[in-house]
Structure 1
Amino acid sequence: MAAHPPIDRVTLEDVRAAARLLDGVITRTPVQAFRAMSEVAGAPVVLKCENLQRAGSFKIRGAYTRLSRMSDEEKARGVVAASAGNHAQGVALAAQMLGIHAIVYMPVDASVPKLAATRGYGAEVRQVGDSVDEALGAARAEAARSGRTLIHPFDHLDVVTGQGTVALELLEQVPDVGTVVVPLGGGGLVAGIATVLAEAAPHVTVVGVQAETAAAYPASLAAGRPLSGALGATMADGIAIGTPGDVPFEVLQRLGVQVRTVSEEEMSRALLLVAERGKQIVEPSGAAGVAAVLAAEPGSLPGTIVPVLTGGNIDPLLLLRVVQHGLVAAGRYLQLRVCIDDKPGSLAALLDTIAAAGANIVQVEHTRTDTSLTVSQVLVNVQLETKGHEHCTAVVERLRAGGFAVA
């Protein structure tokens, strides 16, 4: 079988051809009205649930499109890829379906579930480096050494074309869509969606969203060329990419795609909201679009807003930490340090006051050895379940009114 003819720039018709290729391979993921978020955004909000896609993310769309268009000779030599997890699983599953041997490089701290799933789809996994960029360097070296084809996670026209099929579904499922908000790492998904909408629905606004500690696109777009940015710590490993891809960057720049950034706190609050009110489990990068909508001025995003939940492959341990972080950010969890007299009844009085304020006590620790204390004082660390920021404030005020020194 001959390779698919190369394309110079992705078009709507290219994406429609990819949709036909993917028919029966991928899941047509559902959309879900999100009333709890609509009230905050001041407009209808509908979630596009790519977290329910095969292999847990949108990545299978681009991976299968890319692999299926390789020549028979290329398929026989095998492929190599690099990823923090979602592209790894997409490539591994696509390669398994097409009978191609795959080697996937993943960072040394890649999540255990993503490693297990990638191996479960039949790929050979090699762990190297602390980031996707380092893993990608190792994958490029392997491709040069072995003759395998490098399946880039975002910087290839076929990958962008496959990812664009998300937008074709969206237009059918949410015909009144006005804004699509998409997590942005290297840019393949945003570029594919923007390409389709620019031709099929040019009135629709596309917003790409990066983690503010790992955001290479804002500076790159300002400079007019892809620049390498510093990768700070972020829970959103799926969009922590140091350098934009040439192919997607050209699309975002040409089409004037907006790019916004969100904080770790905003992503954790978004993940919690999606889990608690939307009943969807997503990874932090998958919640970045929701975080951007929550951070936006109500009414500033036109029409029906569709955040794309890009992936649901989250390590349960990370989920636990993120949910706890989200509870704190939402005022649902409060930790206090209270200095009390070291005498019988003082601790009971403190706990009674907290109970009277309607907070639920999760944990209590007290210490007598802090250097800030006198010999007649005890420092109490207390963790509470609360009902929101106003309740947190009320609890603290109640304690201070009762004569307690709250830090």
Structure 2
Amino acid sequence: MTVSLLRFAAPRGLRVARAEGQYVWDSGGRRYLDFYMGYGAAFLGHRHPRVVKALEEQLSRYMTITPAFDTDVLDECLDALGKILPPHLTRVFFLNSGSEAVEMALKLSRKLTGRRKVLAFNNGFHGRTMAALSATWNPKYREGFDPFPFEVVFAPFNDAGAVEEKLSEEFAAVIFEPVQGEGGIIPAKPEFMRAVEKKARELGVYVIVDEVQSGFGRTGVVWAHERGGIKPDMLTAAKAVAGGFPASLIAVTEEVASRVKDTDHGSTYGGNPLALAAITAATHVLLEENIPEQAEVKGAMLSEEFKPLLQDYGRVFRDLRQTGLMIGLEMRTTTTQFIKMLQKNGLIGFKAGLTVLRFLPPYLITREDILFAAETLRKTAEEFQRLQPSEKS
């Protein structure tokens, strides 16, 4: 019998043999600059030495103990998270993926309020499992899966008036990304976040911030919602939080935690010792290497190098959006062909929606990497432009 992979996306046409830091090497030994990083999960770089060491040491002790048992690795992880989580979010539960964390947040909001409605936003992405998918906007992802377990109402993102109009006492929660990733690297305006929080408080609606992609220092602050000065009831985190190891968490207030019963949720692998060790090591790296500041500085450097592309290749690029090390280059066409050409030239990126080229580089990129990325974009744009139909005079 032959077994093959069930694919939901086309293969990239690159056989990876090794990965280290900000680079990957193919089976022929060629090096590529990786601004994809496993959908941004490897924000600390591939195989960060601190994370690898923590995993190796933990693997030599035990790897299959649940948080039902007291362990040093659990205590160390909770202590580390206490240094970076918003002070009002004092209780955490560990899971394995961003979708799972969102699933739990929505599930709790429904149980604790007795309401089924959720307010989410146009172009938002929260995952592919059923509850998370119900709050994901893209009709392409939702097609054929309804009816969903939640009645989700979508509103225009960054539109405080729409929130005022749509949100009511029938809603269990409002969920949003502080920076929309799949939606094209669109930051939530601080005044919008504050308006969401204010209206939700008036109505007894839980505020859930999805920091799966934007969190853990990537945008120049530890958590992107900090720029709004808000205090969400629940926060979901994954991707970078364990240095690329599969792990996620949900952090909640004492008010939420005090109303949760033993049977309300569970996870076989959530909070496994390897994940806890990886989260602890990654958090220490975040703090000791001042990663948010590095993301802010290097993101600005990338933006400065990329801006001239808009003028020089106006037939290819429409707009540039950047917050920390989340970068979106909006194209005038779909991105599929350009991404293939870019990879052929040595830079790995991926798409956000149909027309946005998305880069989620690791914090440890150098000035040389930034210049290489800009030059490779320029070279690829030149090649791509020659393939496009000429403008009519």
- Please indicate the TM-score interval, normalised by the length of the shorter structure: 0.3 to 0.5
> TM-score scaled to structure 2, two decimals?
0.34
> TM-score scaled to structure 1, two decimals?
0.33
Structure number, greater radius of gyration = 1
Answer 1 or 2: higher relative contact order, Cα 8 Å, separation at least 6. Answer: 2
